[in-house]
Chains A and B, each alone.
Chain A
Amino acid sequence: MAVAHVPSSGTWYGATLKEWIFTTDHKKIGMLYFITSLIFFIVAGLFGLIIRFEQSAPGIQLPGLFGQEGTDLYNYVLTGHGAVMLLWWAVNVWMGGFANFLVPLMIGARDVAFPRLNAFSYWSFFGASLLVLLTLIPGNWIKMLWTGYAPYSMNDNAGPTSLYVLIVLLYSISSTGGSVNMITTIVSMRAKGITWTKLNLFVHAIMAASLIQLFGVPSLMGSVILLFTDKYLGTNFYNPMLGGDPLLYQHLLWFYSHPVVYVMILPAFGVFSEVISTMARKPIFGYISMALAIYAIAFVGFETWVHHMFVSGVPDWLRVLFSYTTLFVGVPTGIKIFNWVATLHKASIRYNTPMLFTFGGILMFLIGGLTGIPNAMVSIDLGISDSLFIVGHFHYVLGMALTFGAFSGIYYWYPKVTGRMYSEGLGKLSFWLMLIGANIMFFFQMYIGMAEGMPRRYPDYPPIPEWIQLMQIQTVGALIMTVAILLSLINWIKSLKGPKAEENPWKSPSLEWSMTTTPVGPNNFKKFPVEVPEDWHPYAYFKGYHAHV
């Protein structure tokens, strides 16, 4: 393996710039992914604030620039916010950042199965990132939204189709490489004694998410390649004037792009399980059903894509069929929520920042899940499809549950990665502000969509007094959220010089805590190969457990 020359003592991050660029080490690649994701999270967050600014009043606030209307700028910003938040933050903070850093540590491996493929995946992703930055040039504004629906995406009004296709293709290449790596690593590189029933739930989540990526991404690639050949090479897959069908694009797109929401949320569920078990000092309730629920969600997730197309003109019977399949996702998701709650029964709960973010994430996911039901019930969807209700709903899931999960994970593993302790006070303040701000923002977003029926993707709207008020309330929420996120960013940067962390501050038997130094050494484990006793389990929290700490 490619780790032969790495010294056995020191820290994982101690290396020259050249070594960082040419690295094949999973921890360094994970960190490169993570930093890229975080930078793009901030950029997309600022785009979100521009959207709030535009929608705070009727009329068009944004200036017309470079011969384009203010609404064009809005459409570009909306496209950027969606695409970057979903693909750069929601997918790759997990599949690139967390998974790369943690999975080998959790299964007792020295690196991932294909370290050079891993580096290739990151640099493809980096290439896609550079192309995204190129869209900041006004002539390159992509305005077809992250979904790029044909035939609009072939229209000149939508911006450069080729750039969009290239970005999606590079992202797809990177995702395929990453998922192949994770699946192979988890299947074949677990240390002796770590069976499928002794894997961290986070690892199960990454496994399921990687399977989704592997089976789904080809459909996404296909959809954009056909888009490219339609626009530039004269084929007619999507052009109705010449026998094509625009709905083909939507089927191909959503066949991947619905399951991908589980790529985003399952790892957050994984983090919730890690944190809740550790901080409640109790084994996770119903480990087997928790693991099976992950795979059930991934499987059912592939049978639900048509709910994105309930008003697209597909036959009625198809809508009813997919209404039922979509609702069934609620069953395994419900199991997970009930099991988390049951884990708290007779526990000993430590309230620190990661635990607060996990609690917040679970309770907000509950709202996100329940407000997902109307999108599945085809009868309700006819009235709320493409309204701001949908936007509020998926921000509860992705903007809150997922982001709370990511923040929880960042705080939880911060001592292991940096060797320093974060500031607890600042972290808690950040949590409470984020909970309040996000709820104000997204609750009223759902409300205006459901009760007032306001369509989404509208920079401008009729000056109905209720709409203006509801929009301004959301902006207040967004500003509170901005402060909260800034506090966490400050915390993470400032704490790099914080107090030294203990070796295993959470007293966890999970391998990444119990068998590595703090911060992690270049060779991962204190002893290699890793050996675990027969009664070892990552969630063995109870009196007299074998504390390998």
Chain B
Amino acid sequence: MRNLFILLSLVGMAMAKGDIFAYPRAYWENSVSVWFWVSVAIYIIVAVPSIYFMIKYRYKPGENEEGAHIEGNTAIEIVWTVIPTIIVLFLGTYSFANFVKQRNAPEGALELKVTAFMWGWEIEYPNGKKVYSFFNQVSDPEKNVYLMPDKIDDSVKAYIPMGKPIKVYCTSRDVIHSFFVHEARVTEDCVPGRITKLWFQFNKPGEYWVFCREYCGTWHSRMASVLKVVPEEEFNKWLGGQQAQQPAPAEQPAQPVQQ
């Protein structure tokens, strides 16, 4: 029963519409649903005749000792070369259109500098405030198991304003990592010596995982961080609270990283 539920939810996921919960997940879901239904259609078109032939043309002694002498059919072979080509071009172009939106952050995004290291994240805000999360801060030190976000200390969490696009510039201090904003379904590798970018936006408050998605050794699987999405006023309060101890913004202007 549960398996059936999972299957249905996969279909449901592909059809999900309504309030947009996160970007660029919405664009990603567009592409997923197109792929999903095209694939289901192709699977049916191939599997149904296969199974029909498998049953109908099974060997029946005395009736069909040998198969028919058919070596091919040029016309039909051209058809099933041309149609897949068209489907492929359609899928590629549909994906291209969504990709452009997934990659380019809207104007006025909050810019964060992320530095990955073995094993943890440093997230820096435009005013210089930094949040660190180390692999041993997302787990229970005694039982050596992951904690759920509600059990993780708030000082480890990076606050994110709700409903505002966030642009991330990422790099790494040692090996390649990948900044994966789990519920926003977007990831980009953090490469030493390079600055890569991605953007996301959450429209619902909550606590969302960031995982490392490029293999980086012993604690790769614990290289997580938590984004705490809060209304903008609360975010500003949190950001400003730290600011008091920092030099005034006028003396040390925020430097957006440029490549």
Q: Which residues on A are within 8 Å of B, measured CB to CB?
A: 58-60, 69, 71-72, 75, 143, 145, 149, 151-152, 155, 157-158, 240-241, 244-247, 280-283, 285-289, 311-313, 316, 319-320, 323-324, 327-328, 330-331, 334-335, 337-339, 341-342, 344-351, 359, 362-363, 366-367, 370-371, 373-374, 376-380, 382-387, 444, 447, 450-451, 453, 455-464, 469-470, 473, 541-543
- The reply to whether B70 and A311 contact each other, CB–CB distance below 8 Å, is no
Binds A, one of B60-68, B159-167, B227-235, B244-252: B60-68
- The reply to whether B102 and A382 contact each other, CB–CB distance below 8 Å, is yes
Cα A330 to Cα B42 with chains together (Å)? 12
Give every chain A residue within 8 A of B157 (Cβ-Cβ): none
Given contacts A337-B46, A373-B35, whether A463 and B145 have CB atoms under 8 Å apart is yes
Give every chain A residue within 8 A of B25 (Cβ-Cβ): 383
- The reply to whether A59 and B144 contact each other, CB–CB distance below 8 Å, is yes
0 or 1 for each of B31-61: is its CB under 8 Å from A? (1 = yes): 1100100110011001101100110011110
Give every chain A residue within 8 A of B38 (Cβ-Cβ): 373
Given contacts A312-B191, A383-B28, A461-B146, whether A335 and B54 have CB atoms under 8 Å apart is no
Cα A246 to Cα B216 with chains together (Å)? 14
Given contacts A327-B88, A341-B53, A348-B59, whether A71 and B219 have CB atoms under 8 Å apart is yes
Q: Does B214 contact A (CB under 8 A)?
A: yes
Among B57, B139, B216, the most chain A Cβ lie within 10 Å of the Cβ of B57
Give every chain B residue within 8 A of A342 (Cβ-Cβ): 73, 76
User: What are 22 A-B contacts defined by CB distance under 8 Å?
Assistant: A152-B216, A157-B218, A241-B193, A246-B193, A280-B67, A319-B99, A324-B89, A327-B88, A331-B81, A339-B72, A345-B57, A348-B65, A378-B99, A380-B31, A382-B186, A382-B188, A383-B28, A386-B180, A459-B221, A462-B209, A541-B67, A543-B66
Cα A316 to Cα B100 with chains together (Å)? 9
Given contacts A71-B221, A241-B193, A348-B64, whether A463 and B28 have CB atoms under 8 Å apart is no
Give every chain A residue within 8 A of B147 (Cβ-Cβ): 462
Cα A423 to Cα B164 with chains together (Å)? 65
- The reply to whether A331 and B88 contact each other, CB–CB distance below 8 Å, is yes
Among B9, B185, B196, the most chain A Cβ lie within 10 Å of the Cβ of B185
Give every chain B residue within 8 A of A60 (Cβ-Cβ): 144-145
Cα A416 to Cα B53 with chains together (Å)? 29
Cα A456 to Cα B215 with chains together (Å)? 8
- The reply to whether B28 and A59 contact each other, CB–CB distance below 8 Å, is no
Q: Does B120 contact A (CB under 8 A)?
A: no
What's the minimum C-beta distance from B199 to chain A, rounded to whole angstroms? 11
- The reply to whether B92 and A327 contact each other, CB–CB distance below 8 Å, is yes
- The reply to whether B84 and A334 contact each other, CB–CB distance below 8 Å, is yes
Q: Does B103 contact A (CB under 8 A)?
A: yes
Give every chain A residue within 8 A of B185 (Cβ-Cβ): 382-384, 453
Chain A: CB-nearest residue to B85: A331
What's the minimum C-beta distance from B103 to chain A, rounded to whole angstroms? 6
Cα A312 to Cα B189 with chains together (Å)? 5
- The reply to whether A330 and B35 contact each other, CB–CB distance below 8 Å, is no
- Classify chain B's interface size: 35 or more
Give every chain B residue within 8 A of A371 (Cβ-Cβ): 39
Give every chain B residue within 8 A of A455 (Cβ-Cβ): 180, 211-213, 221
Cα A363 to Cα B84 with chains together (Å)? 18
Cα A442 to Cα B62 with chains together (Å)? 41
- The reply to whether B146 and A447 contact each other, CB–CB distance below 8 Å, is no
- The reply to whether A349 and B54 contact each other, CB–CB distance below 8 Å, is yes
Cα A455 to Cα B177 with chains together (Å)? 12
Given contacts A335-B81, A338-B80, A341-B50, whether A282 and B175 have CB atoms under 8 Å apart is no
Q: Which residues on B are within 8 Å of A, measured CB to CB?
A: 2-3, 6, 9-10, 13, 24-25, 27-28, 30-32, 35, 38-39, 42-43, 46-47, 49-50, 53-54, 57-60, 64-73, 76-77, 80-81, 84-85, 87-89, 91-92, 94-99, 102-103, 118, 139, 143-148, 174-176, 178, 180, 182-183, 185-189, 191-194, 196, 209, 211-222, 224
Give every chain B residue within 8 A of A347 (Cβ-Cβ): 53, 57, 67-68
Q: B70 contacts which of A246, A282, A366 (Cβ < 8 Å)?
A: A282
- The reply to whether B146 and A460 contact each other, CB–CB distance below 8 Å, is yes
Given contacts A72-B218, A152-B216, whether A311 and B10 have CB atoms under 8 Å apart is no
Given contacts A157-B217, A330-B88, A344-B54, whether A383 and B186 have CB atoms under 8 Å apart is yes
Chain B: CB-nearest residue to A332: B81
What's the minimum C-beta distance from A375 to chain B, rounded to whole angstroms? 10
- The reply to whether A451 and B13 contact each other, CB–CB distance below 8 Å, is yes
- The reply to whether B28 and A382 contact each other, CB–CB distance below 8 Å, is yes
Cα A457 to Cα B177 with chains together (Å)? 13
- The reply to whether A151 and B174 contact each other, CB–CB distance below 8 Å, is yes
Cα A71 to Cα B135 with chains together (Å)? 13
Cα A320 to Cα B69 with chains together (Å)? 45
Cα A385 to Cα B99 with chains together (Å)? 14
Chain A: CB-nearest residue to B84: A334
- The reply to whether A447 and B193 contact each other, CB–CB distance below 8 Å, is no
- The reply to whether B71 and A283 contact each other, CB–CB distance below 8 Å, is yes
Told that A240-B192, A241-B193, A289-B77 touch, could you supply 13 new A-B pairs with CB distance under 8 A?
A71-B220, A152-B175, A245-B193, A280-B67, A346-B57, A377-B31, A378-B96, A382-B102, A386-B213, A451-B13, A455-B180, A462-B147, A462-B148
Given contacts A344-B53, A380-B31, whether A320 and B192 have CB atoms under 8 Å apart is no
Cα A99 to Cα B27 with chains together (Å)? 46
What's the minimum C-beta distance from A545 to chain B, rounded to whole angstroms? 8
Q: B217 contacts which of A143, A383, A447, A542 (Cβ < 8 Å)?
A: A143
Cα A241 to Cα B194 with chains together (Å)? 11
What's the minimum C-beta distance from B44 to chain A, rounded to whole angstroms? 11
Given contacts A155-B217, A246-B176, A283-B69, whether A366 and B47 have CB atoms under 8 Å apart is yes
- The reply to whether A334 and B80 contact each other, CB–CB distance below 8 Å, is yes
Cα A489 to Cα B59 with chains together (Å)? 28
Give the 3 A-B residue pairs with the shortest CB-CB distance, closest first.
A240-B193, A282-B67, A383-B185
Give every chain B residue within 8 A of A348 (Cβ-Cβ): 57-60, 64-67
Give every chain A residue within 8 A of B54 (Cβ-Cβ): 344, 349, 359
Give every chain A residue within 8 A of B30 (Cβ-Cβ): 379
- The reply to whether A289 and B72 contact each other, CB–CB distance below 8 Å, is yes
Cα A60 to Cα B145 with chains together (Å)? 7
